[in-house]
């Protein structure tokens, strides 16, 4: 106490100011040294097979699609109740005609001389549609599990050309992509074709269900992606972008942003001059927009990553799970499938520390404050001698 009394007022004020800087550095570190980051929690398996597809309905139910022999099994977990067994229904239309079913999304081009039954399930999992020998068939699903009666209908398309894929583009609209590259849209309420077909060159794959239809033709000379939107009945807007020759997966955000995963582990956003490399140079199998700037990515490599495609930085690994083929997500859940297992986990945004920024500022301000106090004390001691 006597030592402190001998110090001049300016030294005491300098010391107080220095320690205030140190306290400010600590507070600054607690805020500036952390960021909001998407994290994965509470993962648990919900299936042991490798499904054809998984997705979430707009209401948050999880849908899983499996092939068992020639039967199509649709499983449905109610929103927020993923621990309970799912409701389940089997569709037998492929078995009835004696050929294999073929799910329409993300499949590679198949020789049109090979017989199959292409089919699609609506985004809300309330309807199934399939093509066979020039006719489009529509069937209600899960009606029997909710006490309703299942309805079915058939529409003669007037065209025997093989169909490559089907996609529900709305509650009462279905898009049909023929093997020749012709795209038609049909209104299921009026049973009429909404407009004449639009022709695409090459072999195209369909990636989405819902009001924004995304197609890719990565193996042509220009590596094309097509985004088809339906502003009103009988009208469609088509945007074609190129330069994705090594593409392997495609995703579109609700606002129409395009992200492409490549065969060598890059994530490319259309309109950006830079791509984001993952830790592995293996192929990306699946990607989906978490929001308008972040994309969740999985593929033939260990881990699922989240990538910022607006301000590219190092990808963050959410889980080490290897060889993931399918992912589906909502704002608060992620489902993913790899060989022999389908897993669901909770997604959340937590504040996590960034070691470099916060620690650097804390040490710099701390050292300055302590040195300032020591120099003031030394100066005062010299003046007292």
Residue 149 has pLDDT above 80, yes or no: no
Distance CA 385, CA 382 (A): 5
The model carries a pTM of: 0.81
Mean of pLDDT over the chain: 84
Instruction: Determine whether 37 is exposed, middle or buried from the number of CB atoms within 10 Å of its CB (0-12, 13-18, 19+).
Output: middle
User: Which of 143-147, 287-291, 339-343 has the largest mean confidence?
Assistant: 287-291
Confidence at residue 201, expressed as pLDDT on a 0 to 100 scale: 87
User: Which pLDDT tens digit goes with each residue over 49-92?
Assistant: 889 999 999 999 999 999 998 999 999 999 989 999 999 999 99
Strand partners, 247: 262
pLDDT of residue 46: 93
pLDDT of residue 9: 58
State the pairing for strand pair 302-308/294-299: antiparallel
Give the pLDDT confidence score for residue 304 in this predicted structure: 95
8 A C-beta contact, residue 175 and residue 148 = no
| Mean pLDDT within 194-206 | 85
Instruction: Answer for the pair 49, 66: CB distance below 8 angstroms, yes or no.
Output: yes
Q: What percent of the chain has pLDDT over 90?
A: 55
Q: H/E/C letters for each residue in 21-71?
A: HHHHHHHHHHHHCEEEEEEEEEEEEEECCCCCEEEECCCCCEEEEEEECCE
Least confident of 26-35, 110-119, 213-222, 279-288: 26-35
Tell me the two tokens of residue 93: 């239309």
Q: With bands split at pLDDT 50, 70 and 90, how would you rate the model's confidence at 21?
A: low
The C-alpha atoms of residue 7 and residue 351 are separated, in whole angstroms, by: 43
What are the CA-CA distances from residue 357 to residues 27, 311, 362 (Å)? 13, 18, 9
């Amino acid at each position: 106490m006597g030592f402190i009394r001998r110090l001049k007022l300016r030294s005491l004020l300098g010391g107080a100011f220095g320690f205030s800087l140190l306290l400010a550095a600590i507070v600054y570190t607690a805020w500036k040294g952390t960021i909001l980051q998407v994290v994965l929690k509470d993962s648990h398996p919900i299936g042991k097979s490798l499904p054809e597809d998984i997705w979430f309905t707009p209401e948050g139910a999880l849908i899983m699609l499996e092939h068992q022999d020639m039967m199509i099994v649709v499983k449905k977990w109610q929103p927020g109740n993923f621990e309970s067994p799912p409701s389940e229904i089997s569709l037998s239309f492929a078995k009835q005609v004696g050929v294999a079913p073929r799910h329409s999304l993300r499949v590679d081009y198949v020789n049109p001389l090979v017989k199959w039954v292409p089919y699609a399930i609506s985004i809300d999992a309330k309807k199934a549609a399939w093509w066979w020998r020039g006719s489009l068939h529509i069937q209600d699903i899960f009606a029997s599990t909710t006490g309703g009666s299942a309805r079915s209908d058939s529409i003669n398309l007037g065209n025997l050309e093989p169909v490559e894929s089907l996609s529900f583009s709305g509650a009462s609209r279905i898009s049909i992509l023929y093997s020749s590259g012709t795209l038609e849209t049909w209104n299921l309420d009026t049973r009429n074709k909404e407009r004449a077909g639009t022709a695409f060159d090459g072999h195209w794959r369909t990636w989405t269900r819902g009001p924004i239809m995304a197609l890719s033709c990565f193996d042509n000379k220009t590596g094309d992606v097509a985004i088809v939107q339906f502003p009103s009945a009988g009208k469609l807007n088509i945007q074609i972008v190129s330069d994705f020759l090594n593409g392997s997966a495609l995703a579109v955000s609700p606002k129409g942003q395009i992200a492409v995963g490549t065969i060598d582990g890059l994530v490319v956003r259309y309109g950006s001059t830079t791509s984001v490399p993952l830790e592995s140079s293996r192929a990306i199998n699946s990607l989906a927009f978490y929001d308008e700037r972040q994309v969740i990515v999985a593929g033939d490599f260990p881990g699922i990553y989240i990538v910022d495609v607006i301000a590219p930085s190092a990808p963050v690994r959410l889980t080490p799970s290897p060889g993931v083929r399918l992912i589906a997500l909502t704002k608060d859940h992620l489902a993913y499938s790899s060989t022999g297992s389908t897993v669901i986990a909770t997604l959340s945004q937590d504040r996590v520390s960034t070691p470099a920024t916060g620690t650097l500022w804390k040490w710099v301000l701390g050292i300055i404050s302590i040195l300032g106090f020591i120099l003031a004390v030394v100066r005062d001691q010299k003046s007292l001698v």
